[in-house]
Amino acid sequence: MDPIILKEEAGEVIGAGGPTRAVVKASSDATKGGFTMTDSTIAPGFPGPPPHWHREVTDSFYVLEGTLTVRLGDDLVEAEPGTYVCVPPGNVHTFL
């Protein structure tokens, strides 16, 4: 596997409408299934996916600006700048 170096705006852009978008920095294919890394901008009020869980994938979020509300099971976490949330496989989660 080769190193991946991408500047700030580089990567595959996935738009979700308005200012909400994700830029794929490293795909699962590029990391041979090791991980996927995206730089996401989520507009206030944008609905996250329905609560879900993964059999093998670990989801993680690192908040740079604003506040991301993360649902972990029945708990809500207000993730402010500098907060890291790691969701191991088998844990029901979403963001609001």
Domains of the chain: 1-44 (no CATH), 47-96 (2.60.120.10)
**Mean pLDDT, residues 13-38 taken together:** 87
Summarised one tens digit per residue, pLDDT across range 41-57 is 998 888 899 999 999 88
CA-closest candidate to residue 68, choices 88, 35, 40: 40
Q: What is the 3-state secondary structure (H, E, C) of the chain?
A: CCCCCCCCCCCEEEEEECCEEEEEEECCCCCCCCCCEEEEECCCCCCCCCCECCCCCCEEEECCCCCEEEEECCEEEEECCCCEEEECCCCCEEEC
Q: How far apart are CA 89 and CA 54, in angstroms?
A: 5
User: Considering the chain, what is the average pLDDT of its residues?
Assistant: 91
